[in-house]
Amino acid sequence: MKWLMQDPSYGDMIRVELGGIYHFGIYVSDDEVIQFGLPPSSRAQMRDDEIEVLASDADTFLAGGFLEVCLFDRKEKKQNRTPEETVQYARSQIGMRGYNILYNNCEHFANTCISGKAICDQTERIRQLIRNIPRADVYFAPLPKCDIGAPLYCKARWDYICGITNQDVKREKYFVWKLLEYALERSFGAKGTNLDFERDTSGRWYTDEYEFSLSHSGDMLAVAVSREKIGVDVELLSCPSSDKMADRILTKDEMEEYSTFASDKRDRYIIQMWSSKEAVFKSLHDDVFRPSRIAVAEHSPRCGEISHDNKVYLWSVATKNPEILRVYQNVDFI
pLDDT one-digit tens code per residue, 119-144: 998 887 777 776 666 789 999 999 99
Give mean pLDDT, residues 312-327. 91
Whether 250 and 234 map to the same domain: the answer is yes
Exposed, middle or buried: residue 153 (CB in 10 Å: 0-12, 13-18, 19+)? middle
Planar angle of CA 118, 119, 124, nearest 5 degrees: 135
Is 179's pLDDT higher than 60?
yes
How large is the greatest C-alpha to C-alpha distance in the chain, in angstroms?
80
Q: What is the pLDDT of residue 134?
A: 72
pTM of the predicted model as reported, rounded to 2 decimal places: 0.67
Of the three residues 103, 129, 155, the one that is the final residue of a domain is: 129
What CATH code is carried by the domain that includes residue 65? 3.90.1720.10
Whether 206 and 106 map to the same domain: the answer is no
Is 44's pLDDT higher than 60?
no
Q: Give the number of domains in the chain.
A: 2
Lowest mean pLDDT among 191-205, 225-239, 266-280, 288-302: 191-205
Residues 6+ apart with CB under 8 A from 93: 34, 53, 109, 113
Lowest mean pLDDT among 92-96, 260-264, 268-272, 307-311: 260-264
Residues in the chain: 334
Is 9's pLDDT higher than 90?
yes
Name the band, by pLDDT with cuts 50, 70 and 90, for residue 154. Answer: very high
Name the band, by pLDDT with cuts 50, 70 and 90, for residue 197. Answer: very high
Task: Please report, rounded to a whole number, the percentage of residues in the chain having pLDDT higher than 70.
Answer: 98
Name the band, by pLDDT with cuts 50, 70 and 90, for residue 312. Answer: very high
Give mean pLDDT, residues 19-40. 94
More confident residue, 91 or 21: 91
Whether 261 and 149 map to the same domain: the answer is yes
Q: What is the pLDDT of residue 29?
A: 97
Structural domain including 204 reads 134-328
Q: Which amino acid is at 53?
A: V
What ranges in the chain are assigned the alpha helix state H? Answer: 58-62, 74-79, 83-92, 106-115, 123-132, 155-162, 167-188, 242-249, 252-259, 263-284
Name the band, by pLDDT with cuts 50, 70 and 90, for residue 225. Answer: very high
Of the three residues 129, 145, 171, the one that is the final residue of a domain is: 129
Whether 154 and 124 map to the same domain: the answer is no
Specify if 334 maps to a domain.
Answer: no
Check if the beta carbon of residue 306 is closer than 8 Å to that of residue 220: yes
Whether 179 and 257 map to the same domain: the answer is yes
Q: What is the pLDDT of residue 204?
A: 93
More confident residue, 188 or 44: 188
Residue 33 β-bridge partners: 27, 56
Planar angle of CA 149, 223, 208, nearest 5 degrees: 95
Distance CA 237, CA 215 (A): 15
Whether 226 and 283 map to the same domain: the answer is yes
Q: What is the pLDDT of residue 226?
A: 94
Q: What is the pLDDT of residue 126?
A: 78
The average confidence (pLDDT) of the chain is 92
Is 47's pLDDT higher than 90?
no
* Number of Cβ atoms within 10 Å of the Cβ of 318: 28
Give mean pLDDT, residues 216-239. 95
Whether 162 and 299 map to the same domain: the answer is yes
